[in-house]
Structure 1
Amino acid sequence: MTPVFLFGTLRDAALFEAVAGQPLRAEAATLPGERAARAQDGDWPVLVPGSGAHGLLVRVDDSALARLDFYEAIFDYVRVEVPVETADGPLKAQLWRPASGSSQLDGPDWSLSDWMTEWGDLTRLAAEEIMRRFGKVAPGDMGHVVGMIRSRAQARLDTSRWRRPGHVGASLDLSDVVIEERRHPYDGFFTVEEMRARFRRFDGAGDHLVDRAVFNVADAVTVLPYDPVRDRVLMIEQLRFGALAHGDRSPWLLEPVAGMIDAGEAPEVSARRETQEEAGIDLGDLHFVARYYPSPGGIAQVLYSYIGLADLPDEVTGTGGHPGEGEDILSHLVPFDLAVEMLEGGDMVNAPLVISMQWLIAHHDRLRAAAAG
């Protein structure tokens, strides 16, 4: 068994078990000459000079050690040997440090309890998905998907804390479904989840047992920028592989601005960030349109749609997108009356654009009047 010193997030028992695959059974220990400080770039601990970092000493087998190495390597940490102090005296233990070393020399003490309150649930959920890939992919191939995994975890948490008002229906809830088996035949940037579930019938006569597959994405925002003074909207155009795979002869679709919600990010913040990234536009007031599932029969995703008031002069059109994500986006300014014709004539085939335009039509006169003063 290998002694391992834990000073940070892995002191959370549930997270440790999800990563190491064994329960956390540990004793108190101290790493002399250092302390755990809050990282300058986020809420995780880094070791800086100090009077001693208090933590836990856990002994793990080779299997757990390999799992811990995989998890830490994803974040560019490497394992080193360090001297620690225990109740039984000093000993050598394993510890993970940043591969490039830490340039941080000081900072406030990092708090495990504060981290657990703000990030614990999300990190545990994300770790479950990350560790499904252990033994299947190299840690170096995980960097481009970790953000999406955390966004998916955030989406699941947000949805678990939300419930529709239930003016009609909603007599059955999660307790009326038993998931008997889960499988994950594909884990990539997106994931596919197969499940066997048993759920209660509406007529009360027994239950149904079904096999279903779900495409897991992450929650996202959409924004249709609207200039109430010039009375026009901005739409973007880009190639959509769903339409391409479906045989659409025009798979370049007109859409509102859209993007995934990052972990820990409010939808309104995502809306403003994505509009700047995709169209180079700073938004004024945001008007909430709806929170909805785009296709709940087979896609696990919630969309938050907005109308964003903006100044849209002629020169705002052009190309854009996030280069690191392979985006190639062309923006278009469309007069409101033409946009209405496009909606009625079937030129809009993107659901968030249809929904957002319908909201804008219903509130058009009010927004115009408010802009006129």
Structure 2
Amino acid sequence: MSDLFFFGTLRHLPLLETVIGHDLSDITLSEASFADHQIHWADGHAFPLLVASPGEAAVGLLARGLSAEDVARLDYYEQVFDFDLIWTEVTENGVSRRVQMFWPPKTGHTPGPLFQLEDWAPKWGDINTRAAVEVMRHRGHKTAAEVGAMYGMIHVRASAHVAAQAENPVLGPSGMQASDVVNRDISIPYANFFALEERALRFRRFDGSLSEEVERAIFLSGDAALVLPYDPVRDRVLLVEQVRMGPLARGDHGPWQLEPIAGRVDPGETPLDAAHREAREEAGLELSHLHVIHEGYPSPGTSSEFFYTYLGIADLPDEAARLGGVDGEHEDIKGHIYDFDTVMAMLDRGDIRVVPLALALHWLARNRETMRTGA
């Protein structure tokens, strides 16, 4: 059996249980301290740093009685973040103990304020715990380095899952819900920027019985915020054009598509925050107000992706049609401005082939006079 000292987020017990794969009933937990160090926030980030601080002590969690498999699972998880398992000395109840701990890599991050787990947990605890579920599913299939390279998108998918769990349930007329699905096996045969999940499951039928076991594949993505910028004074919209892999893979002659502004909702970010950020990144726009058009699934039969779609009130002079995008994401985006009648004629002709944009334009057509009143 092994004793490990944790100074960071693994002190969050649901996260620790997820990583080791069982509850903590056989593990002894106590407070201990690591001399000449303190725990700080990484400035601008959602994780802690261990900072040398002579005469101070980093107070953490000592877990005693961990099995070899527990340590192996913990080591895999921490290697995702380039932590190394080392031997060190900590103090427990005034007694020095030789234990193991995970030593963080040199990152170059600037230390922020002192880190308190109780400040971190309300915003990040559930997200990081959910992310750990996917991380540990990759054990035995991907190296820790491979998982580390895609952890950003794992975090995005985890954030979307937590957001779904926090919503007020919206059930179909039958009243059936997630508990009416029995999962026997869940695996992730492919994961990179996106992921593919396979499930072997049975589901409740409308006659009350359970179905035979079926296999289903789901395209895993995060949540996204979409914005149709509208200038109610000039009565015009801004659409963005960029190359899209979906039409390209389908064999479409025109993979460059007109769309609303769109982008993923990052972990810790609200959909409204994401909408404003994406408007700045993709089109250089500052939105004065956002109106909710719709919140829902664009393709629930195959994808977990969830869209928060908005009409964004903006000032759209001719020069607002510009090139945009984030260089680091290899985006090449061109803005186009159309007056209302022109864009609706394009929709009627079938020139607009992106369904969320069609939805947003139909919403605008129904609410246009209200939007223009007092503008």
State the TM-score, normalizing by the size of structure 1. 0.90
Q: Give the corresponding residue for 1:38.
A: 41
For 1:143 and 1:194, the matched residues in 2 are separated by: 22
For 1:238 and 1:106, the matched residues in 2 are separated by: 38
For 1:207 and 1:90, the matched residues in 2 are separated by: 58
Q: Give the corresponding residue for 2:158.
A: 153
Give SS of 1:195's match. strand
Give SS of 1:33's match. strand
One-letter code of the match for 1:92? R
Tell me which moved more, 1-10 or 148-157.
1-10
Per-residue CA deviations over 1:8-43 (Å, capped at 9, x if unaligned) read 211223312333446542343221233333333234
One-letter code of the match for 1:35? Q
**CA separation of 1:102/1:235 partners in 2, compared to 1, >3 Å: closer, same or farther?**
closer
Are the equivalent residues in 2 in contact too, given 1:147–1:262 (CA < 8 A)? Answer: no
Q: Give the corresponding residue for 1:275.
A: 279
For 1:241 and 1:106, the matched residues in 2 are separated by: 40
**CA separation of 1:164/1:349 partners in 2, compared to 1, >3 Å: closer, same or farther?**
farther
Per-residue CA deviations over 1:305-361 (Å, capped at 9, x if unaligned) read 001011111122232212222222111111111100011111111111011001111
Q: Give the corresponding residue for 1:236.
A: 240
Tell me which of 65, 84, 99 is aligned to 2:90. 84
One-letter code of the match for 2:8? G
Q: Give the corresponding residue for 1:100.
A: 106
Are the equivalent residues in 1 in contact too, given 2:43–2:109 (CA < 8 A)? Answer: no
Per-residue CA deviations over 1:46-68 (Å, capped at 9, x if unaligned) read 33425322222335555544443
**CA separation of 1:155/1:246 partners in 2, compared to 1, >3 Å: closer, same or farther?**
same
Residue 74 of structure 1 pairs with residue 80 of structure 2: yes
Q: Measure how far apart 1:258 and its partner are.
A: 0.5
Per-residue CA deviations over 1:111-148 (Å, capped at 9, x if unaligned) read 32333322211111101112223354444444552221
Q: Give the corresponding residue for 2:256.
A: 252
Are the equivalent residues in 1 in contact too, given 2:239–2:336 (CA < 8 A)? Answer: yes
Q: Measure how far apart 1:277 and its partner are.
A: 0.8
Per-residue CA deviations over 1:158-196 (Å, capped at 9, x if unaligned) read 112224555x61421222221122222112211111112
One-letter code of the match for 2:88? V
Q: Give the corresponding residue for 1:121.
A: 126
Unaligned runs of 5+ in 1: none
Per-residue CA deviations over 1:182-223 (Å, capped at 9, x if unaligned) read 222112211111112222221335545322111111110110
One-letter code of the match for 2:57? G
Tell me which moved more, 49-58 or 266-275.
49-58
Q: Measure how far apart 1:271 and its partner are.
A: 0.2
For 2:145 and 2:202, the matched residues in 1 are separated by: 39
Tell me which of 114, 132, 135 is aligned to 1:130. 135
**C-alpha RMSD over aligned residues:** 2.4
Give SS of 2:150's match. helix
Q: Give the corresponding residue for 2:9.
A: 9
Q: Measure how far apart 1:94 and its partner are.
A: 2.9
For 1:105 and 1:201, the matched residues in 2 are separated by: 54
For 2:214 and 2:307, the matched residues in 1 are separated by: 26
One-letter code of the match for 1:57? L
State the TM-score, normalizing by the size of structure 2. 0.89
Q: Give the corresponding residue for 1:26.
A: 28
For 1:304 and 1:99, the matched residues in 2 are separated by: 37
For 2:18 and 2:34, the matched residues in 1 are separated by: 25
